[in-house]
Amino acid sequence: MIKNGNLSTDCYKGVRDFYPEDMAVQNYIFSTWKKAAEKFGYSEYSASVLEPAELYRSKGSEEIVNEQMFTFTDRGGREVALRPEMTPSLARMIAARRKSLKFPLRWYTIANCFRYERPQRGRRREHWQLNADIMGIAGIEAEVEIISLAHTIMKVFGAKDEDFEIRINDRKAIFKIFEPILRDKTQWSEACRFLDKRPKLKPEEQEEGNKKYFTRAFNQSEAGNIHKSKMLDEVKEALNAKGIKIVLDSSLMRGFDYYTGMVFEVFDTHPDNNRSLFGGGRYDNLLELFGTEPVPTVGFGMGDITIRDFLETHKLPLK
């Protein structure tokens, strides 16, 4: 950028410079993530921020793919994306060595991600994200372990149980509610996005287009009694035994199309920062993109910006 005939000292909109005092905070967040993940037996991996753009088009979030991806054409005519999230890269890596890997696997990474978003509190166009995934376990012990890891990280940062809330849902149970009125998989994706945004929609907005059918199906179903999901009952019981409380939320869906079962999000309960901090869930079929036998997987991603906002809001240590 040019200002008054000189190059501007401003960094690109939506990204951050890290002066030594900022790096001290960033290193504290990273080291806390690493210690917690490795204490649970997770091994670190990494991948390039550059990926073929088609990697995200099939099972990613429609909003991210169509509105937020940074893409360019390289000198070889290939469409390349700056990584908007880590899960597809992980799936690609697992698919590449599917036959030689010994499951279950517990992997984590701290990945640099890019999304062309409107910069605001909690959101930038570049962020770092802890991703932790357990692969090769189909039973609820994987859900329990991942949520336990997420809970442990919050506690290691100094959070009290009343500072945050873990909300959980079962996408399979919700699918059964909507299945009778869905024409195809595309409409299921639309229903997921509707439910995700429903708490913020005005009553009249919930009656626009297909939303009116989704609203009626949801209201006339057992969605309000989603605790009848056997899977959620078992997860809740196992977590309670560990002293971890969860809240059942039938409107929680997460934005990515690849989730197949349990989804969860961790919310800040402070009125000054009452928002979702991070989340994840089960995705068992993502390897099918590569023509590879699927591997049951549960994981989550936690961003550095939202966790720093949380620490500042609750006046918790930053170093």
| Full pLDDT tens readout for the chain, 319 residues | 666 778 888 989 999 999 999 999 999 999 999 999 999 999 999 999 999 999 988 665 566 677 889 999 999 999 999 999 999 999 999 999 999 999 999 999 999 999 998 878 878 899 999 999 999 999 999 999 999 999 999 999 999 999 999 999 999 888 888 787 777 777 887 888 788 777 778 888 888 888 887 777 777 665 555 557 899 999 999 999 999 999 998 889 887 788 999 999 999 999 999 999 999 999 999 898 899 999 999 999 999 999 999 999 999 999 8
Residue 62's pLDDT is: 63
Residue 59's pLDDT is: 63
Residue 61's pLDDT is: 58
The phi, psi pair for 119, rounded to 5°, reads -60, 130
Residue 222's pLDDT is: 56
The 3-state DSSP class for residue 274 equals coil
Would you call the peptide bond into 20 cis, given omega within 30 degrees of 0 as the criterion? Answer: no
CB 87 within 8 A of CB 115: no
Q: What is the rounded CA–CA span in Å between residue 146 and residue 282?
A: 10
Residue 78's pLDDT is: 96
List Cβ neighbours of 62 (8 Å cut-off, separation of 6 or more): 189, 193, 257
Residue 241 tokens, joined: 């035994």
Number of Cα atoms under 13 Å in the Cβ half of residue 117: 16
Residue 227's pLDDT is: 52
Q: What is the rounded CA–CA span in Å between residue 104 and residue 176?
A: 29
Residue 146's pLDDT is: 98
Q: Could you tell me the pTM of the whole model? A: 0.90
The phi, psi pair for 98, rounded to 5°, reads -50, -45
Class of domain 19-313: alpha beta
Residue 191's pLDDT is: 80
Going from N- to C-terminal start, the domains of the chain cover 19-313
The 3-state DSSP class for residue 2 equals strand
Residue 120's pLDDT is: 81
CB 239 within 8 A of CB 251: no
Residue 224's pLDDT is: 52
